[in-house]
Structure 1
């Protein structure tokens, strides 16, 4: 887990310290902890990008404070409460990556979702949804930060 960014390494350690049933509970806690959209996006959902890889509807948008790899990345998600797995994945990404530099986010391995120990309790199709979110986040940040 040493190749994981600090935020993800801590989250992965938390998941690996638990049995399968408790991992699902922790995922639900991340779902409940997903921050609400700021009003500027809640009032304009058309600004958010859909993530079709997810089985449940989820939308995201990034912001960048600064330029280049040292800019600060901000992540925002919209997912319905009746989609706790998808919300949980978004919550993990928000906790691990929001407020980090663009470079740190871009350096996050694409296979980070496999490092969380959720493959035993969540279908591969759902894990691909989280990978889809990460891919869109990275693309948006590259475009917005000019890297």
Structure 2
């Protein structure tokens, strides 16, 4: 199901959670997401994943679009990179198991609605943008 914003309802819910927070509470929420990044499936190795060099910390992603109605997204980022892990976890929570069409409809700048621009460097925010761009490129 897609929310009016063009985002799947799950992603719109995440954006709404961030909208309800102020200042440092947004960073705390990002750290909570970082701790919830799902582990990789046992049959997926980081070496087989696509690197996202735009991220300041090592990040790898895998888009399994075998079933285009239920695209699976997998991310790998080190524990010592909580911002990057948080961004990956937001995308996993909001887009995993959605259809390719729903994911492709997500606005490229949706992350601006998280309200993190005043708290996180533009370089780090570009990393999240790069993750979404690579996912969409894979789905196209």
Change (3 A) 1:84 1:27: same
Number of residue pairs matched by the alignment: 137
Q: Which residue of structure 1 lines up, in the alignment, with residue 87 of structure 2?
A: 89
Structure 2 gaps of 5+ residues are none
Provide the secondary structure at the position in 1 that maps to 2:39: coil
Q: Which residue of structure 2 lines up, in the alignment, with residue 48 of structure 1?
A: 49
TM-score by length of 1: 0.88
Q: Which residue of structure 2 lines up, in the alignment, with residue 63 of structure 1?
A: 64
Q: How does 1:100-139 map to 2 (within 5 A)?
A: 100-139=98-137
TM-score by length of 2: 0.93
CA separation in 2, counterparts of 1:4 and 1:116? 15
CA separation in 1, counterparts of 2:73 and 2:107? 17
Q: Which has the higher helix share?
A: 1
Moved over 3 A (4+): none
Per-residue deviation at 1:72? Answer: 1.3
Structure 1 gaps of 5+ residues are 143-147
